[in-house]
Structure 1
Amino acid sequence: MRSTVLSRTRRWLGASALAIIAGVSGVTGAYVLTGSAANAQYQNAAQIVVPQANVQQGFADLVEAVQPAVVSILVEAEAPGRQVERRGRDFNFEFNFPDLPENHPFRDFFDQFGGPRGGQAPDRAPRPRQFMAAGSGFIISADGYVVTNNHVVSDATKVTVITEDGTEKVATVVGTDERTDLAVLKIEGEDLPFVTFEDTASRVGDWVVAVGNPFGLGGTVTVGVISGKGRDIGGSSYGDFLQIDAAVNTGNSGGPAFNVNGEVVGVNTAIYSPNGGNVGIAFAIPASTVKQIVNQLIDTGSVTRGYLGVAIQDVTKDIAEGVGLSTATGAIISKPSADGPAAAAGIKAGDIVLMVDDEKIDDALDLSRTIASHAPDSTVELTLWRDGAETKLSVKLGTLTEEVANATTDEEAPAPEVIEPEVTKTLGMALVPNGDGSGGMLVQSVEDGSQAAERGLATGDIILQVDNQSVASAADFDKAIEGVKGKGLNTALIMVDRNGATRFIGLPLAE
């Protein structure tokens, strides 16, 4: 009978609760009973105890409180038109409604600017193509400052802010920042409802409530959690995005994401989607970044950033092994600008930035964001890894201008001359002295499957340094490699030039 009862109980309650009923003995640990036997769990002494989540019944009160500060943004803009031949006549009727569905009433706007009833003579130049787009934003002050995305208002000829009650107000663009995709608008008003930013950064797993204007449908609310932090989604040199799973769609751009206290944790700015719709992966600019940029835009109308003047890359495991670092962390300087602040302070190629002041640097993007967050002409202390030890240097930062930031070399460097004498075969490569007089060893060929090939070395690359020692001959190269081995290291740090761009590679010495 007892066996039958236990068998039925096992099916009903499960094994965890059954252990209590059956009186199991001789087992170390503790039983945790939460509410009922059905929730009983066996807990080892070292097992983590997770506090019970305080699940709310809903977010209606929060939404009701913050929604008056969330606005829809209607943008009128111009873009170059193009001639389209149709039924023997030319029409300038190409329209762009990136944030509105086909049947949205705003699409009637096209009748004013082209289409079958707005054509133009075939021999006239195309008129600028006018279009309307919709986005989101939120008020951050009682006197009418509004935050949104730069891409919502860029190239706008007119920006209209529509509040929750349907009031329309023409807005002035106070300032924009393309690098962080943020913009500040100003509307007229007094004692306007506004929201504030969070003071303490939210954590992964915290609730998030997104309010915005997807597809022109203002006042839309979606709920989710913060799925990740510190996301680098590309397209932003200073991105440090929150990943959220609250549904964000076209038109939500510039809208706020709130925590359960009604504080803004981020500005919704991008989605990952293979089909244009929400798939549960959206990205928001974190409040810490927004506050910093918005304050500058309100004060001066533009954003200034500190400038170090270096080309940098991540420290890989191979690079770390090649310089004796215990962990792959920091950002390695591949090339300091000749007239930049870093060079003036004595920073050299091969230095690895581990810290800026008291802030640890994880990778190259982290260094870019950290330096950019400092004011021009401010002085920072860099902790560097150089020659197997830490050293410190103080650098007075310059000002990052668009000319400096966008400086690129469009001309390809001339192909290095391949010369025949003194071919050295080592570490899976055939090397010859670089014949253009600039020094280094030219990679003449790379063996398939070799360590060099796996690390990305290719024919035409120029090895400039080994272990921070310049090499211009086979003897130089061999001596530097022996020096690495003499330090007890199994990986050599190699500086490589490819078409004028330098980069460091950690090359294992075992062939």
Structure 2
Amino acid sequence: MTRILEKYRVAALLGVALLVVPVAASSLLGTQAAQAAAPQSFGSVLADGSFAAIVSADKPAVVTITTTLKAENASADGTSPFGGDSPFDQQFRDFFGERQMPVPDQRPSGKAEALGSGFVLTRDGYIVTNNHVIDKASTIKVTLDDGTELPAKLVGADPKSDLAVVKIEPDKPLATIDWGQSDKLRAGDPILAIGNPFGIGTTVTAGIVSARGRDLHSGPYDDFIQIDAPINHGNSGGPLVGIDGKVVGINTAIYSPNGGSVGVGFAIPSDQAQTVVAKLMKDGSIEHGFIGVQIQPVTADVADAIGLAKPAGALVARVDDGTPAAKAGIRSGDVVTALGGKAVTSPRDLSRMVADLSPGEKQGLTVWRDGADKNLTITIGANDGGGGQVLADAGGKSGEAGQRVPTIGVQLGDLTADMRQSLGLPKGENGAVVEGVNPDRPAADAGLQPGDVILSVNQKPVASAREAKTAVAEAGKAGRKAVLLLVQRQDEQTFVTVPFSVG
């Protein structure tokens, strides 16, 4: 669980309301909304303080999506109906596993109904919603604003971005809603959220953009718009619109300590969603790019330790064998600073850039290595769901007497064959084993633990305790404020920066 989730519960509503039934388990609630096709001018819409012109134009394109879930896909026991691949699966379990909605209907049929929101994108019936609204549905039905009910088929869905497209066959052209430009949104701009909270009917709420670029640690596309317009279970898939009446986001998630709206909601930006939706409409699915690295942020201490001018980029903690990254020559300890000519400022940047690329594409990639930029070429691979760009968490008994490294506060020993076996490490693994950590020294504050294996110091591999001690001492003599250690703990590798003691 992330630090955010340790403080708050995130309800994966994300516009979805859960209805519990005794045999069928539970059902989702959410809605969709859209905008009229006729051109409108909302430049002076706030002159009289009313959003009525926007609502009258957009409401006809708001739809309700009803799905039928088989009993095995329902979740009376609190298990997420979104599926294990959903970016909001953990949040759903956290919330609904402890508190569930009242029972409004009894259905002993072994099935459950779920309601969600969305909006009509084209006059011939393409509709946008969240993936978790239609995930694992056996049937999908759309109810238009005028009450017309039509069967829908799934065109395509992408769990990583939590977006989906469904299609209906209307007997007349539909009212639609156009995409807006989310990249122009600023904190403080007014917005409207439209959806069907709790299944009570189409509802409009108003607020402002509270923040941009929120990261909920749910996947490579985390770049949410935070809003204070109330959204609740049932709003998932509904549109977030600006004062020009166009979609600037898709309502997706809330923070909630009690299950209700507390004015902290999240929407997928339209600029991101528009690209994904276009691919789903064309191909029905998306193949996300993959390079095969574990990455973590570049902190100020890391930048200082490796001589980087500023703390930016994505630090490569591990490169998986046989992956595109390994074939391109990327090494553990490299800092990726650019991909395809675009600057990489954070691990999230790199994850999103790679996910947006198609398998087979060749891209130039720049890494910071040994105090200089190095240009590489990488061929993007296909992400089959088993790997990707993973954001690493920052974070024994030896045969001979350990060697003290008083500057950071660890006791090191050589890595023996027996130790490799007991720690579950590969036979050829070399390094220095952490035998003890002084609780009053920097290494303890950095999270080092007995049993950790130090594989490199300041991007230089170390094969023994003596080599590790020497490398740390040299870093201190060079005037570094901290030392960068590559640490193996069980089957995970991560970089840890340890500042030198003062005095």
Q: TM-score, normalised by structure 1?
A: 0.77
Alpha-carbon separation, structure 1, partners of 2:123 and 2:260: 34
Alpha-carbon separation, structure 2, partners of 1:164 and 1:444: 67
Residue number in structure 1 paired with 2:228: 245
Residue number in structure 2 paired with 1:272: 255
By how many angstroms is 1:475 displaced?
2.6
SS at match of 1:302: coil
Q: Give 5+ residue unaligned stretches, structure 2.
A: 1-44, 78-95, 391-395, 421-426
Q: Could you tell me whether the CA contact under 8 Å between 1:100 and 1:133 is conserved in 2?
A: no
Residue number in structure 2 paired with 1:162: 143
Q: How does 1:18-29 map to 2 (within 5 A)?
A: none
- After superposition, give the CA deviation of every residue in 1:408-445 in whole Å (9 maximum; x if it has no partner): xxxxxxxxx52230311112111101112521110011
Residue number in structure 1 paired with 2:205: 222
- After superposition, give the CA deviation of every residue in 1:141-200 in whole Å (9 maximum; x if it has no partner): 111010111111111111111111111111101111111111110000242111111146
Q: Provide closer, same or farther for how the CA distance between residues 292 and 100 of structure 1 changes in structure 2, counting only shifts above 3 A.
A: farther
By how many angstroms is 1:488 displaced?
3.1
Residue number in structure 2 paired with 1:341: 324
Alpha-carbon separation, structure 1, partners of 2:216 and 2:264: 11
Q: Give 5+ residue unaligned stretches, structure 1.
A: 1-52, 85-95, 114-128, 408-416
Q: Provide closer, same or farther for how the CA distance between residues 263 and 162 of structure 1 changes in structure 2, counting only shifts above 3 A.
A: same
Q: Could you tell me whether the CA contact under 8 Å between 2:290 and 2:387 is conserved in 1?
A: no
- After superposition, give the CA deviation of every residue in 1:110-141 in whole Å (9 maximum; x if it has no partner): 3452xxxxxxxxxxxxxxx3111211110101
Say if 2:406 is the partner of 1:423.
no
AA aligned to 1:214 is P
By how many angstroms is 1:99 displaced?
13
- After superposition, give the CA deviation of every residue in 1:203-258 in whole Å (9 maximum; x if it has no partner): 22111111111011222000111111111113333211111111100000110000
Q: Provide closer, same or farther for how the CA distance between residues 480 and 112 of structure 1 changes in structure 2, counting only shifts above 3 A.
A: closer
Q: How does 1:186-265 map to 2 (within 5 A)?
A: 186-189=167-170, 190-199=172-181, 201=183, 202-265=185-248
SS at match of 2:411: strand
Q: Could you tell me whether the CA contact under 8 Å between 1:99 and 1:216 is conserved in 2?
A: no
Q: Could you tell me whether the CA contact under 8 Å between 1:318 and 1:508 is conserved in 2?
A: yes
AA aligned to 1:398 is G
Q: Could you tell me whether the CA contact under 8 Å between 2:65 and 2:117 is conserved in 1?
A: yes
1:63 to 32, 55, 59: 55
Q: Could you tell me whether the CA contact under 8 Å between 1:378 and 1:396 is conserved in 2?
A: yes
Residue number in structure 1 paired with 2:304: 321
By how many angstroms is 1:103 displaced?
7.4
Q: How does 1:65-464 map to 2 (within 5 A)?
A: 65-80=57-72, 102=102, 107=105, 110-111=106-107, 113=109, 129-189=110-170, 190-199=172-181, 201=183, 202-405=185-388, 418-426=397-405, 427-435=408-416, 436=420, 438-464=429-455
Residue number in structure 2 paired with 1:13: none
- After superposition, give the CA deviation of every residue in 1:41-79 in whole Å (9 maximum; x if it has no partner): xxxxxxxxxxxx976521000110011111111121112
- After superposition, give the CA deviation of every residue in 1:286-312 in whole Å (9 maximum; x if it has no partner): 112211111111111111111111111
The more displaced of 396-405 and 156-165 is: 396-405
Say if 2:479 is the partner of 1:488.
yes
AA aligned to 2:175 is P
By how many angstroms is 1:284 displaced?
0.5
AA aligned to 2:457 is V
Q: Provide closer, same or farther for how the CA distance between residues 235 and 83 of structure 1 changes in structure 2, counting only shifts above 3 A.
A: closer
By how many angstroms is 1:82 displaced?
11
AA aligned to 1:502 is Q
Alpha-carbon separation, structure 2, partners of 1:472 and 1:58: 70
By how many angstroms is 1:405 displaced?
4.8
By how many angstroms is 1:446 displaced?
0.4
By how many angstroms is 1:462 displaced?
0.3
AA aligned to 2:50 is G
SS at match of 1:402: coil
Q: Could you tell me whether the CA contact under 8 Å between 1:100 and 1:216 is conserved in 2?
A: no
**Larger RCO of the pair (alpha carbons < 8 Å, separation 6+):** 2
Q: Could you tell me whether the CA contact under 8 Å between 1:422 and 1:433 is conserved in 2?
A: no
AA aligned to 1:163 is L
Q: Could you tell me whether the CA contact under 8 Å between 2:487 and 2:493 is conserved in 1?
A: yes
AA aligned to 1:254 is G
SS at match of 1:290: helix
By how many angstroms is 1:474 displaced?
3.1
Alpha-carbon separation, structure 1, partners of 2:452 and 2:301: 19
Q: Provide closer, same or farther for how the CA distance between residues 54 and 194 of structure 1 changes in structure 2, counting only shifts above 3 A.
A: closer
- After superposition, give the CA deviation of every residue in 1:386-419 in whole Å (9 maximum; x if it has no partner): 1122222221211111244599xxxxxxxxx522
Alpha-carbon separation, structure 1, partners of 2:404 and 2:116: 60
Q: Provide closer, same or farther for how the CA distance between residues 99 and 192 of structure 1 changes in structure 2, counting only shifts above 3 A.
A: farther
AA aligned to 1:216 is G
SS at match of 2:49: coil
Q: Could you tell me whether the CA contact under 8 Å between 2:293 and 2:388 is conserved in 1?
A: no
Alpha-carbon separation, structure 1, partners of 2:76 and 2:48: 56
Alpha-carbon separation, structure 1, partners of 2:248 and 2:397: 57
Q: Could you tell me whether the CA contact under 8 Å between 1:149 and 1:181 is conserved in 2?
A: yes
Alpha-carbon separation, structure 2, partners of 1:365 and 1:300: 26
AA aligned to 1:423 is G
Larger radius of gyration between Structure 1 and Structure 2 = 1
Q: Could you tell me whether the CA contact under 8 Å between 2:446 and 2:498 is conserved in 1?
A: yes
Alpha-carbon separation, structure 2, partners of 1:321 and 1:140: 49
Alpha-carbon separation, structure 1, partners of 2:370 and 2:76: 63
Residue number in structure 2 paired with 1:471: 462
Alpha-carbon separation, structure 2, partners of 1:326 and 1:217: 55
Alpha-carbon separation, structure 2, partners of 1:495 and 1:174: 45
Residue number in structure 2 paired with 1:3: none
Q: Provide closer, same or farther for how the CA distance between residues 101 and 447 of structure 1 changes in structure 2, counting only shifts above 3 A.
A: closer
Aligned residues: 419
Q: Could you tell me whether the CA contact under 8 Å between 1:429 and 1:452 is conserved in 2?
A: yes
AA aligned to 1:184 is V
By how many angstroms is 1:100 displaced?
11
Alpha-carbon separation, structure 2, partners of 1:247 and 1:56: 22
Alpha-carbon separation, structure 2, partners of 1:498 and 1:384: 25
Alpha-carbon separation, structure 2, partners of 1:501 and 1:100: 36
Alpha-carbon separation, structure 2, partners of 1:213 and 1:281: 18
Q: TM-score, normalised by structure 2?
A: 0.79
Alpha-carbon separation, structure 1, partners of 2:386 and 2:150: 36
AA aligned to 1:421 is E
